[in-house]
């Protein structure tokens, strides 16, 4: 019971034109994994591990700031950028039956002049580093969506055409830099975890882990399996909207990060790029089965936010 590793090199960001035969093989490999467990590791994507480490390094400098400073950049539910900004430890409950998750985050929902960022005087190059990484993840995610469509026998543009507005306030695609501090177990509430069991909301997620690990993925058997970090790899998983879109051909699998053992009670960092269709996209079963009732991409996410943030 392990997650498949697939070489994405024939269609990585460094490739201008890929061969049809190679794309066909790649599409079969990826959709097979995503229909089995909902997760797949991709190597040779064109996103370098050094870039991931730079994002984590500069994020760590932000998370080290005093809470009163970070609160100036808090996520605001009242703005038109609903998901941008700092998220405090314990304010999210990704499993609503558990206490708040023991992690904090900085979310980048859109690349807009209206958004408030920590200035260079606080963390030099914070904005430019995260925005640059957002762009690279956006480019990679469009290639992955192309491949998934091919693997399902659809037109290559069927999913990409509904993701045209990423990085604007008309699409809820979000880059999240996540920080899990060491745990003082004497203060942990009953049932509290670093990140509660949950499935993601959108179409696909790109996850970059540090060497600390800790992610567990639920297998079809109901058993959670360890998903180790692989240097240079991106871990891709299916979200709820893609499962609905494909009438359960592709699986949105639950995953979690439990409390560390005493000998691994260290900082954990990850960077996740949560890909969503454009807000007004109506998600219906692409096979015409009407297995799920139609819903717009934005309304589905707002329903999930109501649970996660009360």
Backbone angles phi, psi at 136, to 5 degrees: -65, -40
132 by Cβ neighbours in 10 Å (0-12 / 13-18 / 19+) ranks as: middle
d(CA 56, CA 48): 13
d(CA 10, CA 291): 35
295 by Cβ neighbours in 10 Å (0-12 / 13-18 / 19+) ranks as: middle
Neighbours of 293 (CB within 10 A): 9
What is the assigned CATH class of domain 5-308? mainly beta
pTM tops 0.75: yes
Residue with token string 């008309």: 170
d(CA 287, CA 276): 20
Cβ contact 102:183 at 8 Å: yes
Q: Tell me the sheet residues that pair with 226.
A: 216
- Residue 76 confidence (pLDDT): 79
- Residue 112 confidence (pLDDT): 78
Spell out the alpha helix ranges (H) of 97-199: 126-151
d(CA 145, CA 290): 22
pLDDT tens for each residue of the chain, 310 residues long:
689 999 999 999 999 888 999 999 999 999 999 999 999 999 999 999 999 999 999 999 999 999 999 999 998 776 677 789 999 999 999 898 999 999 999 999 888 777 889 999 999 999 999 999 999 999 999 999 999 999 999 998 999 999 999 999 899 999 999 999 999 988 999 999 999 999 999 999 999 999 998 999 999 888 999 999 999 999 999 999 999 999 999 999 999 999 988 888 899 999 999 999 999 999 999 888 889 999 999 999 988 888 777 6
d(CA 85, CA 259): 25
Cβ contact 68:32 at 8 Å: no
């Amino acid at each position: 019971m392990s997650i498949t590793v697939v070489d994405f090199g024939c269609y990585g960001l460094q490739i201008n034109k890929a061969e049809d035969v190679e794309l066909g093989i790649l599409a079969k490999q990826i959709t097979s994994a995503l229909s089995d467990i909902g997760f797949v590791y991709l190597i040779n994507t064109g996103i370098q591990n050094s870039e991931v480490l730079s994002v984590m390094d500069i994020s760590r400098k932000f998370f080290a700031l005093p809470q009163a400073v970070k609160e100036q950049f808090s996520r605001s539910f009242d703005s038109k950028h609903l998901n941008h900004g700092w998220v405090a430890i314990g304010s999210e409950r990704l499993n609503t039956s558990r206490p708040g998750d023991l992690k904090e985050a900085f979310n980048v929902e859109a690349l807009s002049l209206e958004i408030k960022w920590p200035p260079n005087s606080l963390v030099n190059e914070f904005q430019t580093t995260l925005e640059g990484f957002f762009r690279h993840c956006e480019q990679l995610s469009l290639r992955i969506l192309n491949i998934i469509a091919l693997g399902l026998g659809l037109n290559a543009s069927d999913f990409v055409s509904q993701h045209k507005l990423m990085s604007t306030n008309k699409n809820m695609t979000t880059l999240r830099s996540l920080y899990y501090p060491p745990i003082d177990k004497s203060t942990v509430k009953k049932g509290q975890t670093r990140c509660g069991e949950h499935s993601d909301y959108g179409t696909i997620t790109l996850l970059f882990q540090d060497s600390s690990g800790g992610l567990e993925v639920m297998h079809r058997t109901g058993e959670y399996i360890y998903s180790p970090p692989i240097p240079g790899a991106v871990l891709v998983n299916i979200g709820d909207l893609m499962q609905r879109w494909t009438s359960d051909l592709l699986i949105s699998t639950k995953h979690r990060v439990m409390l560390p053992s005493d000998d691994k009670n260290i900082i954990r960092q990850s960077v996740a790029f949560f890909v969503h269709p454009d807000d007004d996209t109506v998600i219906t079963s692409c096979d015409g089965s009407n297995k799920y009732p139609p819903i717009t991409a934005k309304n589905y996410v707002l329903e999930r936010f109501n649970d996660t943030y009360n």
